[in-house]
Amino acid sequence: MLINFNKLNINNLEFETDFEKKIKTFLEEWFSDSGSVKVQTSGSTGAPKILDIEKKRMINSAIMTCDFLGLKEGDTALLCLPVEYISGKMMIVRSIERKLRLMIAQPSLKPLENLDEEIDFCAMTPLQVENSLDKIHLVRNLIIGGAAVSENLKKRISGQTTCIYETYGMSETLSHIALKQLAPRQEDDFTAFKNVSLSEDERGCLRIFFPDVNADVLQTNDLVDLKNDNRFRFLGRIDNIINSGGVKIFPEMLEASIKKEIPNEAVFLGVKDEILGQKLILVIEGERSEEIIEKISGISFEKKIYKPKEILFIERIPRTPNGKVSRRELLGLIDTEF
């Protein structure tokens, strides 16, 4: 299905699949007299909730992304993300605002499987990108969100001619407020859009003020290395910190090191321990592999305590509907199965 927002007439479109009908519902809501739409949060950092978002703020966010990527009227975009969440909704809003031609693909792990022509813009999760590397060259601009991009995936997309960016944002910021280029050039830091002001609280967690999309200062639980008021490096979530023997461990940083050596999804967790308080363990997705264990054993960690006390293998690491690892659910599985 293709929706041309330069010549949109909803009544002339045939919405056949369940996914297409959800798009129709959103379009009807968007073009209604109401000044806001409802958006569901992913639940990856807390209980899922429904937000009432002003349309004008979503338009402001859409303009920022379209301007940054140089999207113009008549360009082609691909929607392959669920429209229940802000990521999918914003793809539609960007297409409306910039009058794009929007191709519709049922959300799946291989969204580019049937793509046989070049397109100008697409947003995907890391898992979708992993399964689409053979066709990434057909996308002129690609943004990756919903979860952190692994070091292994960064290696695999390096050298691509496609302009690829990792995003930083959340439902409350109406998709992303900062981008980090991964290809053709690879950056270490996120750079925020203009009109976004960044600061840190006393814990070292990021504060965001972006009046174009949210009138309030947004307090995150994301620990960052703030370079200046619009550039930062993400260190990890403060609620994911593991305290082992009095040493604070950032699991996301250790995971980045591990994923340079192995292709599997890998998650560091802290489990209760009478002596250490929390014992550091590493959970790897896939069948048990002595080769992987040997590679991890050969890694020179900065501190001895960063070396996992146990390495566990699990068939499938649980994820939220938008592809993020659910550490809470994974910890529950570890407690019951191991």
Q: 65-117, pLDDT tens digit by residue?
A: 999 999 999 999 999 999 988 999 999 999 999 999 999 999 999 999 999 99
Instruction: Annotate 12-24 with DSSP letters as a single string.
Output: G----SHHHHHHH
Convert the pLDDT of each residue in 188-246 to its tens digit.
999 999 889 999 999 999 999 999 998 899 999 999 999 988 899 998 899 899 999 88
Query: Tokens 């997309």 belong to which residue?
Result: 157
Cis peptide before 321 (omega within 30 of 0): no
Residues 6+ apart with CB under 8 A from 290: none
pTM of the model: 0.82
Tokens representing 167? Answer: 């995003």
Q: How confident is the model at residue 322 (pLDDT cuts 50, 70, 90)?
A: low
Convert the pLDDT of each residue in 239-292 to its tens digit.
899 999 889 898 998 998 888 888 889 999 999 988 889 999 999 999 999 999
Pick 2-237's CATH classification: 3.40.30.10, 1.20.1300.10, 3.30.540.10, 3.40.50.12780.
Answer: 3.40.50.12780
Domain boundaries, the chain: 2-237, 241-337
Tokens representing 10? Answer: 């909803």
Cα dihedral 170, 105, 60, 56, rounded to 10, equals: -100
Tokens representing 58? Answer: 């979503």
Please give the CATH number for the structural domain made up of 241-337.
3.30.300.30
